[in-house]
Amino acid sequence: MTETLIIARVGGQGDGIAETPAGPVFAPLTLPGETVRAEVRDGRTEAMELLVASPDRVEPVSPHYGDCGGCSLQHWASGPYLEWKREQVRLALARERIETDVEPTVAVPPGTRRRLALHARRGPDGRVVLGFKARKSWRLVEVRVCPVSDPRLVAALPALARVAEAFLEHPKSAPTLHVTWTLTGLDVDVTGVERRSGGLSRDAQMRAIEAAGQADLARLSLAGDTLVMSRQPLVAFGPATVPLPAGGFLQAVPEAEAAMVSRAVEAVRGAKKVADLFCGAGTFTYPLAEVAPVLAADASAAGIAALKAGMGSAKGLKPITAEARDLFRRPLAPYDLRGCDAVVLDPPRAGARGQTAQLPGTRAHTVVYVSCNPVTFARDARVLVDGGFRLEAVTPVDQFLWSAHVELVGVFRR
């Protein structure tokens, strides 16, 4: 059925939403105030025609836009786009009945993303194709340019396609190349390779290693197991240089990382001891150790080992104690956090409800919560507020440019 729709707002997933008597209709790639004509099926538009465009509509900068599922908001002018991200944080907090100052969204420039997850498939002509999933589809969109990404990653795409070919040995393999630009070059960890039939053959491994050498990769690994390493991939965290674990976590954009770290450090300044929970390989640990001793904990043993390995690379830091510990199964209790008068958390998207519940019982006067999910952040913020903390301020960070994802830093005071 063809309908004419007026877009009322943009929803949390980045789609425009029109209100109709039959309920909301989701219209991808539209903006508030626009009028469209489209086929409507199951509450979503198909074969859409734009009748009246918003004055905030701009020309997308990627030739793949509209088909590639990597970006959903390139057609929105920067000002209202960043304000929309700010509003998503306000709405998440409002659902938990929390009011606070939500600062303007910190913008990041194009061409700065240092991490990509590239899917590899063999095309109809047998050629290896690298790219991202299409919108709402399993189909792969081959990517030749990407304005979000560091140009050095884009330049490496042809060589990475040759590396990927060896991992397509089994017809059921659906490899994903997790590519990171480090201080010593490209680090590539491959997942999605069929294992039930014996995994990657020795011959395929040798082809992959040869292609890695031709691509001048610093390291090539398979699901965290190193196949070949010509140079240790290194990253800088504050004054320290840290060896990145194979398949380890790293913030996607250095500028976004710097914005979050600076706010965390400023918030805990004056603390006698800081706990850095879900610390990874030390993104926040090392900058925090410039102002106070740090107790660091994370479930990743490889991350903790990397953090410890970086300790000798920086001078003048306060003492760092690091522990490998699953903070979901065994959150640090008030006894474990004795002496810590500030806590920094940077949990995954699921949040940290169990660990957050321990913090009101500590003597911490400041909690800095770094989040990639406003909904779980707001849920955990409710726990802290009920436990005697006040949410002083929240800063949204646009780490994932032109997507619906919102990162943030929240500062709580006792």
CB 403 within 8 A of CB 72: yes
* 276 and 393 inside one domain: yes
pLDDT at 114: 98
Q: How confident is the model at residue 100 (pLDDT cuts 50, 70, 90)?
A: very high
pLDDT at 247: 92
**For residue 39, which of 29, 53, 51, 25 has the smallest C-alpha distance?**
25
Q: Which amino acid is at 226?
A: T
Per the structure, the count of domains in the chain is 3
In a domain, 76, yes or no: no
Which of 76-80, 137-141, 156-160, 403-407 is predicted with the least confidence, judged by mean pLDDT? 137-141
Final residue of a structural domain among 207, 234, 261: 234
pLDDT at 46: 87
| pTM across the whole model | 0.94
What average pLDDT does this structure show over 368-379?
Answer: 98
CA 166 – CA 140 distance, rounded (Å): 19
* 228 and 259 inside one domain: no
Whether 1 has a pLDDT exceeding 80, the answer reads: no
**Residue range(s) defining the domain that contains residue 196:** 115-234
In a domain, 43, yes or no: yes
* 103 and 119 inside one domain: no
Each residue's pLDDT tens digit, 146-203: 999 999 999 999 999 999 999 998 888 899 999 999 999 999 999 999 887 778 899 9
To the nearest whole number, what is the mean pLDDT of the chain?
96
Q: How far is CA 356 from the centre of its chain?
A: 21
Residues near 322 by beta carbon (within 8 Å), at least 6 away in sequence: 279, 285, 296, 297, 304, 307, 308
CB 404 within 8 A of CB 381: no
Instruction: Give the domain CATH number at 48.
Output: 2.40.50.140
Residues near 248 by beta carbon (within 8 Å), at least 6 away in sequence: 280, 281, 300, 302, 303, 306
What average pLDDT does this structure show over 352-368?
Answer: 98
* 328 and 408 inside one domain: yes
* 44 and 155 inside one domain: no
- Tokens (6 digits) for 232: 């240790």
* 44 and 93 inside one domain: no
Percent residues over pLDDT 90 in the chain: 92
In a domain, 73, yes or no: no
* 290 and 317 inside one domain: yes
* 187 and 95 inside one domain: no
Residues near 281 by beta carbon (within 8 Å), at least 6 away in sequence: 235, 237, 242, 244, 245, 248, 249, 250, 300, 303, 304, 306, 307, 310
Sign (positive or negative) of CA dihedral 338, 340, 341, 346: negative
Q: Which of 68, 71, 340, 372 is catalytic?
A: 372
Question: Which own/partner pairs from 298-301 qualify as long-range (CB within 8 Å, at least 24 positions apart)?
Answer: 298/324, 298/325, 298/327, 299/324, 299/325, 299/326, 299/327, 299/328, 300/245, 300/248, 300/249, 300/324
Asked if 71 is an active-site residue, the reply is no
* 402 and 282 inside one domain: yes
pLDDT at 119: 96
Strand pairing report for 390-397 and 101-102: parallel
* 27 and 134 inside one domain: no
Q: What is the dihedral of CA 210, 211, 213, 214, to 10 degrees?
A: 120
* 127 and 85 inside one domain: no
Helices 202-214 & 157-165 angle (0-180, nearest 10): 170
Whether 58 has a pLDDT exceeding 80, the answer reads: yes
pLDDT at 233: 98
In a domain, 220, yes or no: yes
Instruction: Give the domain CATH number at 153.
Output: 2.40.50.1070
* 158 and 219 inside one domain: yes
In a domain, 279, yes or no: yes
- Tokens (6 digits) for 338: 């004795």
In a domain, 241, yes or no: no
In a domain, 72, yes or no: no
In a domain, 242, yes or no: no
Rounded to 5 degrees, φ, ψ at 285 are -55, -50
